[in-house]
Amino acid sequence: MRCESKTRAGTRCKAMALRTGKRCNFHADPERHRALAAAGGRRRSIYRAENLKHFAPATSAAELAAVVGQTLCDVRNGSLDAKTGNAVGALASCLLSVIKVDSLETRMAAVEKFIKEERNREPRRAH
Ligand SMILES: [Zn+2]
C-alpha cells in the first residue's frame, strides 16, 4: 500500500506505507525524519578549520605530499568532510602540475646558462 500523505509540492507521496499504518517511514514520524535529516547535514558539514593542521602554502612536491597525506588522514578519521577533501585533492593536483612545469623551467634555464657560458669560454678556432 502507498503512503497516503502529500508531499510539499502537493502530489501524493510515492513511498510504500509501513505495515503498521497508512504512511511511509518519513510521514509516519515527521519529527524523527527532521532530526535524522539535520544530523545528516551536520555530519556532512562538520569541519572546523581551527582543528585542522596548518600548512604554509606548498612550493614543492614534498610539501604538497605532506598536505595531501594529512588531508587523507583527516577525511579517514572524520575530522574533514569528503567534499572538502576532494577539493583539496583537485587543487593539489593542479598545484603539482604547476610545480612540475616550474621545476622544468628552472632546470632548462640552468642548462641554457651553462651552454652559453661554455660557448663564451672557448672561442671557436678558424680552420
Ligand atoms: Zn510518505
How far apart CA 25 and CA 36 sit, in angstroms, is: 12
Give the model's pLDDT for residue 46: 63
Residues 6 or more apart whose Cβ sits within 8 Å of residue 58:
64, 66, 67, 92, 95, 99
pTM exceeding the 0.75 threshold for the entire prediction? no
State which amino acid sits at residue 62.
A
How close is the Cα of 23 to the center of ligand 1, in Å? 5
List phi, psi (to 5°) of 27. -75, -20
Give the model's pLDDT for residue 33: 84
Chain centre distance of CA 103: 25
How close is the Cα of 14 to the center of ligand 1, in Å? 7
Whether 13 contacts 25, CB under 8 Å: no
Average pLDDT over residues 82-87: 92
- Render pLDDT for 39-68 as a digit per residue (tens, 0 to 9): 766 656 667 778 889 999 999 999 999 999
